[in-house]
Amino acid sequence: MRFFIDTANIEDIKEANELGVICGVTTNPSLIAKEGRDFKQVVKEISEIVDGPISAEVISLEHNEMIKEAEELAKIHKNIVIKVPMTEEGLKAVKVLSEKGIKTNVTLIFSAVQALLAARAGATYVSPFLGRLDDIGQDGLGLIEEIVTIFSVNAIETEIIVASVRNPIHVSEAAKIGADIATVPFKVIKQMFKHPLTDKGIENFMNDWQKTFK
């Protein structure tokens, strides 16, 4: 499983990129709004930092408008992926964009049939929202498993981006299931590095070294 970072914060993206563990970025309108800066400028800056797929979401709800927005966003950089909501209008836009060779990421997926429809419309990626399902007491990981199975049985090439990741266990469980990618908030990426026994081990090594060689 590969990792994307789920943020529009330039400093966090730079730091995560230096860690060497991410190969893409996902944003959404809420994450962009949180930064309070010009949308296209932020997307451009991200694409100059990370050499991999950068998801930028359309805000229109009608397919022709989505396509216009997508075409503008796609001009920013060759790595831009257009994030489109899982609606009838969204999938009409996905069909046209995929015919034009523009990559898409269908977002706000909460059921296996939604993922299947998005794939059949030509989506490059689908983003099932694991954490938001868990938040309402539903089985988020169960959904990821269902989509992985359906895509594998049906030889579907659309890649699965596990989104709405809340903790490192979400990441390891999604990896066991065989999801292609997890898009992870920076806070969770940092948690993934940590183990108390690693810290303790470093402390012990340093102490032993100091005792003998200081």
Q: Which residues bind ligand E4P (CB under 6 A)?
A: 6, 26, 28, 107, 127, 129, 131-132, 163-164, 183
Q: Nearest approach, Cβ of 6 to ligand E4P (angstroms)?
A: 5
Q: Nearest approach, Cβ of 133 to ligand E4P (angstroms)?
A: 10
Task: Give whichever of 129 and 151 is closer to ligand E4P, judged by the CB atom.
Answer: 129
Q: Give the Cα separation of 95 and 186 in Å (integer).
A: 32
- Concerning whether 187 is annotated as a catalytic residue, the answer is no
Nearest to 127, CA basis, from 172, 88, 160 = 160
The residue annotated as part of the active site, out of 34, 83, 92, 187, is 83
Token pair of 36 as six digits:
């309070």
DSSP conformation class of 157: -
Task: Give whichever of 17 and 107 is closer to ligand E4P, judged by the CB atom.
Answer: 107
Task: Give whichever of 9 and 207 is closer to ligand E4P, judged by the CB atom.
Answer: 9
Nearest to 34, CA basis, from 2, 14, 11 = 11
Residues with active-site annotation: 83
